[in-house]
C-alpha cells in the first residue's frame, strides 16, 4: 500500500504501509494531516480516512470526528494515479510471515542469487582465470600439482567473494528500497523492526551475516520460525527484526 501525505501544504511520499504507520505512531502524521492513497478520490484528513475505514492504520483509534475539506496538492488538481496497492491494510495485531511462506521466499531468493552468482563468476573466471578454468576441465580425477592447487584456491576465493558481495548488495538494495527481497515480495512479506520501521543499511548487512549462523546447525535453526510467537528466526533474534505479512 502506497501512501502520500502533506506537511505544511507540501506533498510527500510515496511510503509503504509500515513506514506510514510508523510516521503516524511517532506523531509526524497526525489525525489532522491530509493523506491520500489509491483509490481515494481526493486528499482527506487521517481522521476522515479512519472514520470511513477503521482498519486503514494499525493501533490508531478511529473515534475521531471527521474533518471537512480536500487538499489538491502543491500543483493543484487531483492526485496522480499511482501503482496498484501491494499490501492489504489490517486491523489489530500485525500478522507475521509463517514458516512455509518464508521457506518459499528464501528458495526464490536463493535461486536468483545462485543464477546471478554463476553468471558473475563465469564472466570473471573467463576474463581473469582462463588458464585455471582450463586446468579444472583437464584434471577430472587427477591429482593437481601444488601450483595448480594454489591457482584453484585463488579462483575459489574470488568466487566466494563474488557470492558474498552479490548477496550483501542484493539485500541492501531490495530491503532498503522495498523492505523486501524479490522472494518476499512474491510471497507478500516484508522485513521491518519491531515498531514497523524499515531497516538501516547496517542492520541489513548484520542480518545477512546473521543468516550464516544457520549453517552451524545445518539449517535446523530455521525451524525456530515455526514455533516462535512472532515467527522469528535466529537471525531475527540477533538483529531484532520481524518478517510480516503485507497481504492476506
Are residues 129 and 238 both part of a single domain? yes
Strand ordering across the sheet containing 44-45:
10-15, 3-7, 34-36, 44-45
Q: pTM for this one?
A: 0.58
Q: pLDDT by residue for the chain (248 residues), tens digit each?
A: 688 888 877 788 888 888 888 888 888 888 888 888 887 777 888 888 888 877 777 644 434 444 444 444 444 444 444 332 233 333 345 788 889 999 999 999 999 999 999 999 888 878 877 776 666 666 566 676 777 677 778 778 888 999 999 999 999 999 999 999 999 999 999 999 887 788 999 999 999 999 888 878 777 778 888 888 888 888 999 999 999 988 65
Alpha-carbon distance of 86 to 108, in angstroms, equals: 19
- The total number of structural domains that make up the chain: 2
- C-alpha cell at position 171: 539485500
Domain containing residue 19: CATH number: 3.30.1490
Coil vs helix vs strand at 229? coil
Is the Cα torsion angle 73, 77, 82, 88 positive or negative in sign? positive
Q: What is the DSSP string of 25-68?
A: HTTSS-TTSEEE-TT-SS-EEHHHHHHH-TTSSTT----S----
Domain boundary among 92, 125, 149: 92
Q: Which helix (H) or strand (E) holds 122?
A: helix 99-128
Are residues 228 and 109 both part of a single domain? yes
Helix ranges, 130-214 (H): 130-139, 146-178, 182-186, 201-210
- C-alpha cell at position 219: 539449517
Are residues 129 and 76 both part of a single domain? no
Are residues 169 and 223 both part of a single domain? yes
Task: Evaluate whether 110 touches 118 at the Cβ level (below 8 Å).
Answer: no
Is the Cα torsion angle 203, 204, 208, 214 positive or negative in sign? positive
- The pLDDT value recorded for residue 30 is 86
Task: Evaluate whether 101 touches 180 at the Cβ level (below 8 Å).
Answer: no
Q: What is the DSSP string of 233-247?
A: -HHHHHHTEEEEES-
Local structure of residue 86 (DSSP, 8 states): S
Are residues 40 and 122 both part of a single domain? no
Are residues 76 and 105 both part of a single domain? no
- The pLDDT value recorded for residue 91 is 38
- What domain range includes position 27? 1-92
Task: Evaluate whether 135 touches 144 at the Cβ level (below 8 Å).
Answer: yes
Domain boundary among 53, 73, 92: 92
Local structure of residue 96 (DSSP, 8 states): B
Are residues 48 and 153 both part of a single domain? no
Are residues 214 and 229 both part of a single domain? yes
Domain boundary among 40, 62, 92: 92
Are residues 134 and 194 both part of a single domain? yes
Q: How far is CA 12 from CA 23, 33, 75, 144, in A?
A: 12, 12, 13, 62
Local structure of residue 76 (DSSP, 8 states): -
Amino acid at each position: 500500500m502506497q501512501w502520500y501525505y502533506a506537511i505544511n501544504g507540501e506533498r510527500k511520499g510515496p511510503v509503504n504501509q509500515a513506514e506510514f504507520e510508523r510516521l503516524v505512531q511517532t506523531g509526524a502524521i497526525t489525525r489532522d494531516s491530509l493523506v491520500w492513497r489509491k483509490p481515494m478520490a481526493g486528499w482527506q484528513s487521517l481522521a476522515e480516512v479512519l472514520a470511513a475505514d477503521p482498519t486503514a492504520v494499525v493501533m490508531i483509534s478511529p473515534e475521531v470526528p471527521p474533518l471537512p475539506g480536500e487538499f489538491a496538492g502543491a500543483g493543484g488538481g487531483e492526485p496522480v494515479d499511482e501503482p496498484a496497492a501491494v499490501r492489504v491494510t489490517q486491523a489489530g495485531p500485525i500478522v507475521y510471515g509463517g514458516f512455509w511462506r518464508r521457506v518459499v521466499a528464501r528458495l526464490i531468493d536463493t535461486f536468483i542469487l545462485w543464477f546471478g552468482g554463476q553468471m558473475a563468476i563465469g564472466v570473471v573466471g573467463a576474463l581473469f582465470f582462463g588458464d585455471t578454468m582450463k586446468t579444472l576441465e583437464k584434471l577430472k580425477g587427477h591429482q593437481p600439482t601444488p601450483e595448480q592447487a594454489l591457482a584453484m584456491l585463488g579462483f575459489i576465493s574470488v568466487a566466494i567473494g563474488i557470492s558474498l558481495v552479490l548477496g550483501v548488495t542484493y539485500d541492501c538494495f531490495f530491503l532498503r528500497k522495498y523492505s523486501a527481497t524479490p522472494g518476499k515480495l512474491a510471497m507478500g512479506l516484508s522485513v521491518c523492526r519491531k515498531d514497523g520501521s524499515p531497516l538501516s543499511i547496517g542492520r541489513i548487512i548484520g542480518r545477512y551475516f546473521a543468516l550464516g549462523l544457520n549453517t552451524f546447525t545445518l539449517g535446523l535453526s530455521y525451524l525456530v520460525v515455526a514455533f516462535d510467537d512472532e515467527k522469528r528466526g535466529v537471525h531475527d533474534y540477533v538483529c531484532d527484526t520481524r518478517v510480516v505479512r503485507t497481504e492476506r
